[in-house]
Amino acid sequence: MNVRKILTVVAMVMLTLSAYSQAKDTTKVSKIETALSRLSLGGYGEVALSRNFYSDHFNRYKDPASYSGKSHGRFDIPHVVLNIGYDFGKGWSFGSELEYEHGGTESAVEIDAEESGEFEAEIEKGGEVALEQFWINKQFWKGELNVKAGEIIVPVGYMNQYHLPTEFFTVYRPEGENTILPNTWHQVGISLWGRTQQWRYEVQLLSGLDSERFKRNYFVHYGANSPYEFKIANSYAVSARVDNYSIKGLRIGVSGYYGHSFRNTLAKIGTEYDGVKGALAIISGDFTLNRFNWIARGNFTYAHLGDADKISEFNKSNYTHHKYQDGSPFANENLGSSAIAWGIEAGYDIFSQIHKTRALGQKLYVFGRYEYYNSMFRGTYKNLYKYTAKNRLAFGVNYYPIKQVVVKGEYSYRFFKKPNNNGLTSDSPLYVQPYNNEPSINIGIAYAGWFL
């Protein structure tokens, strides 16, 4: 074999290896591109600065005169959320949401010199870290029917379904539903849901809430939480939601919930509570109108708790008889038998009238909001805690330099109904002190969107 033939063979081998390598690299790139096309990555986050022109002392409603004229400032990171999802194909997908509230939590271990070198755990800041969503979904009929199971959002009320910072005008989430309901409400359960061109529906089976965690100021807000590594499911509940999109730019939704809450506990329950179920029923309606450079939103939620007085008695008796130690996460409070929250807000995009900002896609909404809520709207003890009835006005602006980022500013005024003292003077033992109104200025910046 001469040299020319040898070089020819070597060249052919090298070309073959090169072609194989390129094909292998192309296959690898193709697999990576396919994987990325199936991956969803996104989230949202908020930073807020506030000056509250009132005292936030826990006794400010018991003794209003002692806490008038005081103020304080706050810097906060209300929510930072990371969403990760993946489409496995053949209708199977998964989604997850990890949320850091108020900056998460920080803890450290220190060696205490005054305690002979003893190790001590120290909490350095507050906040919460929670896995708010983790579910597997199977899609049928192009999304008209889906089955989802895992840690899922309970879509009762406006704020649980639409809680991104770009879905409300105020710096912080509107207070009403956020006070009386869990928010963002998430529980382990199974969901049947679907979407057509004009309708979206969802029906869920969940574990019931825990009535030991209900509170007078917050009604059932903390009922979905669990102090344990698991959630007790002695009782069950159902929730449902329907949204309609038939009219251009308008969405109308109705949602509801029903379940028992009393026996979701590890505590011993005496025979005197036989028949107590703590049935919780919630009905809610909401809408969003986004048209003609206006955005308007409204919501109404009413909730009723059966056996509220017996639940109050049971929760307080656990403390009276020292069944729980100090530092217990359970409530020791009188409860209302019903709660209510409603609100409405509207904003107009004034940049829509300016050609340059309209061409750049920038928006500047000037908005106003009013809401009323009461965690003890009905019940035996409602007249003992009249401060739970709150009104709130807010005015401000939302500036969108791009679609995913919003800068917010507002003036907020929370106020209370004045008591009827029938001409009594403040030195009378029957005189009821009026509560101090609670104005504040809030500034925030937030983002919401998908990165992949």
pLDDT digits (tens, 9 = 90+) for 39-61: 999 999 999 999 999 998 888 88
Q: Which residues contact 57 (CB under 8 A, 6 or more apart)?
A: 67, 70
pLDDT bucket at 119, cuts 50 / 70 / 90:
very low
The pLDDT tens digits of the residues spanning 225-250 come to: 887 778 888 899 999 999 999 999 99
User: For position 11, what pLDDT does the model report?
Assistant: 65
pLDDT bucket at 131, cuts 50 / 70 / 90:
confident
Buried b (16+ CB within 10 A) or exposed e, 308-340: bebbbbbbeebbeeeeeeeeeebbebbbbbbbb
Q: Which residues contact 161 (CB under 8 A, 6 or more apart)?
A: 153, 155, 241, 253, 255
pLDDT bucket at 88, cuts 50 / 70 / 90:
very high
Instruction: Give the tokens for residue 89.
Output: 């194909």
Tell me the domains of the chain and their CATH numbers. 43-450 (2.40.160.10)
Lowest-confidence range among 15-24, 212-221, 337-346, 395-404?
A: 15-24
User: For position 114, what pLDDT does the model report?
Assistant: 45
* Residue range 428-449: mean pLDDT, rounded: 88
Lowest-confidence range among 233-247, 250-264, 313-327, 435-449?
A: 313-327
More confident residue, 261 or 19: 261
**Residue whose C-alpha is closest to residue 170's, from 452, 448, 444:** 444
Taking a C-beta distance cutoff of 8 angstroms, is the pair 149, 135 a contact? yes
User: For position 287, what pLDDT does the model report?
Assistant: 98
| Interatomic CA distance for residues 259 and 256, integer angstroms | 11
The pLDDT tens digits of the residues spanning 353-366 come to: 999 999 999 999 99
**Residue whose C-alpha is closest to residue 77's, from 99, 51, 52, 53:** 99
Mean pLDDT for all residues in the chain = 87
In order of 148, 153, 224, 263, the CA distances from 234 in angstroms are: 22, 20, 13, 6
Query: What is the number of other CB atoms lying within 10 angstroms of the CB of residue 104?
Result: 15
Q: pTM (2 decimals)?
A: 0.86
Taking a C-beta distance cutoff of 8 angstroms, is the pair 70, 96 a contact? no
- Which is it for strands 72-76 and 39-52: parallel, antiparallel or unpaired? antiparallel
**Residue whose C-alpha is closest to residue 336's, from 381, 285, 289, 391:** 381
* Residue range 301-324: mean pLDDT, rounded: 81
Q: Which residues contact 328 (CB under 8 A, 6 or more apart)?
A: 319
* Residue range 113-127: mean pLDDT, rounded: 52
The pLDDT tens digits of the residues spanning 17-33 come to: 666 666 666 666 677 77
* Residue range 261-272: mean pLDDT, rounded: 85
User: Per-residue pLDDT for 145 more than 80?
Assistant: yes
User: 């995009």: which residue's tokens?
Assistant: 349
Could you give the percent of the chain with pLDDT greater than 70?
Answer: 86
More confident residue, 351 or 35: 351
User: For position 115, what pLDDT does the model report?
Assistant: 45
User: How is the chain split among helix, strand and coil, in percent rounded to 5?
Assistant: 20, 45, 35
| Interatomic CA distance for residues 183 and 218, integer angstroms | 11
pLDDT bucket at 253, cuts 50 / 70 / 90:
very high
User: For position 117, what pLDDT does the model report?
Assistant: 47
The values of phi and psi at residue 435, to 5°, are: -75, 150
